[in-house]
Amino acid sequence: MGTRIQLRADDGFTFSAWESLPTGKPRGAVVVIQEIFGVNAHIREVTDGFAAAGYAAIAPQIFDRVQPDVELGYRAEDMGTGIKIAFQQLDRARALGDVQTAINHISAHGKVGVVGYCFGGLLTWLSACTLKGVAAASAYYGGGIVNETGRKANCPVIMHFGELDAHIPLADVEKIKAAIPAATIYVYAADHGFNCDHRGSYDAAAAKLALDRTLTFFSQHIG
């Protein structure tokens, strides 16, 4: 369903993205922001899933600025590599600029929603607060959101967390709820990464419920 395309950022940098278009006229558009594992098979499948739901969907390869075509698995060494790229090597402002490029590109198909997972969940919150043209945002287990609660979103936001997530303790989720009362926050009886069916932490029931909520939310605010 999807295909790899090239996008050009405002500074002239060219990077890849996975774009997936629905059959028929799109009901709107969705930008999918990757985990620390790159735009790998799982993120491509997620992007294709939003296209199957009727949206023009795109997942920008925001790690291309550090290393082209990063695709990691879920072993300990992969996690170490992903954390190093995301939190030590990647210029976050540039990464958000590349998300903006993807938003601008996919907005040809209608209003744009942003959805992201793990590191992408954090960038989804930052996109809702700082980028242009975001109509709705759904952030999954965004590590570090608790440190960015002084910001104000420019669009409706929902967030999804797992109560078994050692990376984001429930105490942090409560802080986020208190600091961002306008956001709708859901907590699931699941672990970090519960949406990823390539990982041991996958929880089918939580993943389905979170996706149903995200699609309902997008249908309300995008089309």
Residues 2-43: tens digit of each pLDDT: 999 999 999 999 999 999 999 999 999 999 999 999 999 999
Q: What is the mean pLDDT of residues 132-151?
A: 97
Which range of residues forms the domain containing residue 68?
Answer: 2-221
> What residue has token string 């999954």?
140
Q: What pLDDT is recorded for position 1? A: 75
Compute the CA torsion angle 88, 91, 93, 99 (nearest 10 deg).
-100
Catalytic residues: 118, 165, 192
Nearest one of 84, 86, 115 to 102, comparing CA atoms: 115
Give the CATH number, domain containing residue 72. Answer: 3.40.50.1820
Q: What gap in Å lies between CA 192 and CA 106, rounded to an integer?
A: 29
Judged against a pLDDT cut of 80, whether residue 163 lies above it is answered with: yes
Q: What is the mean pLDDT of the chain?
A: 97
In the predicted structure, residue 129 carries a pLDDT above the cut 90:
yes
**pLDDT computed for residue 104 by the predictor:** 98
The letter for the amino acid at 80 is G
Rg of the chain over Cα atoms, rounded to whole angstroms, equals 16
Distance CA 221, CA 79 (A): 34
Query: What's residue 50's pLDDT?
Result: 98
First-to-last CA distance in the chain? 21
Domains in the chain: how many in total?
1
Q: How far is CA 2 from CA 69, 82, 164, 211, in A?
A: 16, 24, 33, 20
pLDDT tens digits for 103-118? 999 999 999 999 999 9
Q: Are 120 and 82 in contact (CB under 8 A)?
A: no
Q: Is 119 exposed, middle or buried, given 0-12, 13-18 or 19+ CB atoms closer than 10 A?
A: buried
pLDDT tens, residue by residue, 173-197: 999 999 999 999 999 999 999 999 9
How big, in percent rounded to 5, are the helix, strand and coil portions of the chain? 40, 20, 35
Cα(56)–Cα(25) distance, integer angstroms: 9
Q: How much is the pLDDT for 16?
A: 98
Half-sphere exposure of residue 69: CA atoms within 13 angstroms, side-chain side: 3
Q: What percent of the chain has pLDDT over 70?
A: 100
Q: How many residues does the chain have?
A: 223
pTM summary value: 0.98
